[in-house]
Amino acid sequence: MQLAFDADVEEFRAEFLAFLANHLPDEAEAGERPRSSADVPEWARRWQRMQFDNGWLLPGNPPEFGGRNASILQQYVHLEELSRRRIYHSFNPQGLGIIAASLLSFGTPEQKERWAAPILRAEITAALGMSEPGAGSDLASLRTRAVRDGATFVVNGQKVWTSGANEADVLLTFVRTDPDAPKHKGISVLLIPTDTPGVTRRPFASVCAEDDFDFNEVFFTDVRVPVENLVGELNKGWGVANGALGHERTLLWLSFADRLQDLIEDFRPGTALDRDRYATLAMDNQALRLLGSAALARADRGEQDVAALSVLKILGSEAVQTASEHALDGAGFDGLVHPALTAPYTPWNNDHFASSWFERYARSFAGTIAGGTSEIQRTIVAERVLGLPRS
C-alpha cells in the first residue's frame, strides 16, 4: 500500500516547511548541548517557544496549548518533516509527550495553566516518576506512599530510572494512596516540584558514558505536596497512567521507523553478511511504515486499536535493536571507539542518534523497555489479537 494525502494535508505540510525555512535556528546559535532529557539549552527553549506561539509545537493541540487542532494525518506529516531533517521534537521529550499531554487530558484548568503551558513553552521542564525498585514494568506494584494530612499529601518512598529528574523542575509522580486496595487501584498522581523539602535526586551514569547522567534515583522523605497538585481523581491513577503512556504510543511507531531510516542512511555494509543484514533492515523499515500507515488510517477514521499499536512497538523497537547490533558488529573494533560520530552532525537533533555504534546499540534497549516492555506488549497481542487465555 502507498499512503497518500488529501490536498488539505499537503497544504498543511507546505505551511510547516515554510515555517521551518524562516525560523529554524542556525547552526551557530544551536551550539550548546543538553546534559539530560530535562535540560533544555536556552536556544532550544527559544525555538520551542517559537513553535508553541505559532501552533507548530504539537499541532493536534488547541492554539492555547501550542497547536492548531490538527488532524492525525496532519500531525503525522508534521513529525515526518521533522524526522527528514533530523530535528528533535523537544529536548524534554517526556515533559512534552507524556506529562503535559497527561495534564491536558486529566488536569484541572488551573493545572493546565500553571504546569502544562509552561512545560510546553519550555519555561520549566518535567520528568516522569513511575518506575521503582521492584516496580519497573509492573506499575501496580509501586510502594511510594502518599498520606493525606489536611491540605497536603505526605509522600515517602523511592523512584529509580527517573530520566532527567536531576534537571527537571517538576515530577509527575505515581503514588499509592490506598494500600488496602487491589494492586491496580489505590494509585494516585501528584505533581511534585523538585525543590520541595525532602526531595533528593541522585543521578547515576549509564553504560553509554561515564558522563551520561540522565538516570536518577529519587527519594521522598516526608515530602509535603498541596492537595491541589493531585492530577485526576484520588485512587484512580491507573487510568492516568494508561492515558500517559497512550499519548506516548499513538505515533510511537514513527520514532522507531525514523531510527531505522537513520540506520539505512548511516550504516555502510562491507561484507556479504552485512549486505544481507542491510536488506533485512530495509525490509523491516518498509514493513513498519506500511503497518503504521494502516494504523494511521484507522486512527483517522476514529478507530481505536491498542493491540495493533503493541504489534508496531514490538516490531519497531526490536528491529532497531537488531539493526543497531548488526551495525556495531559490522563496524568491528571501530564500532567500540567512543565517543565517535557515526552520522552527519545536525545541531537540532539529539546527539545520541549520531554517537558511536556502541552507544547507539546500548541505547536501543530503551525502546524495548520504555512505554511498556516487549514482554507486556506480547501479552497484549496474545490476549487481544490471538485470544489466548490470561496467564
Catalytic residues: 248
Centre a 10 Å sphere on the Cβ of residue 51 and count the other Cβ atoms it contains: 24
Residues in the chain, overall count: 391
DSSP per position, 299-334: HHTT---HHHHHHHHHHHHHHHHHHHHHHHHHHGGG
Does the bond joining 339 to the residue before it have cis omega, within 30 degrees of 0? yes
Q: Report strand pairing: 152-160 vs 216-226.
A: antiparallel
Q: Are 388 and 337 in contact (CB under 8 A)?
A: no
SS3 229: helix
Residue 390, Cβ density class (10 Å: 0-12 exposed, 13-18 middle, ≥19 buried): exposed
Between CA 170 and CA 118 the distance in angstroms is 11
Burial annotation 276-289 (CB, 10 A radius, 16+ → b, else e): ebbeebeebbeebb
Calculate the CA 82 to chain-centre distance: 15
Between CA 69 and CA 78 the distance in angstroms is 13
Please state, in angstroms and as integers, the Cα–Cα distance from residue 114 to each residue in 89, 327, 382, following that order.
Answer: 22, 45, 41
**Residue 391 is placed in which grid cell?**
496467564
Calculate the CA 390 to chain-centre distance: 29
Q: Report strand pairing: 170-176 vs 126-129.
A: parallel
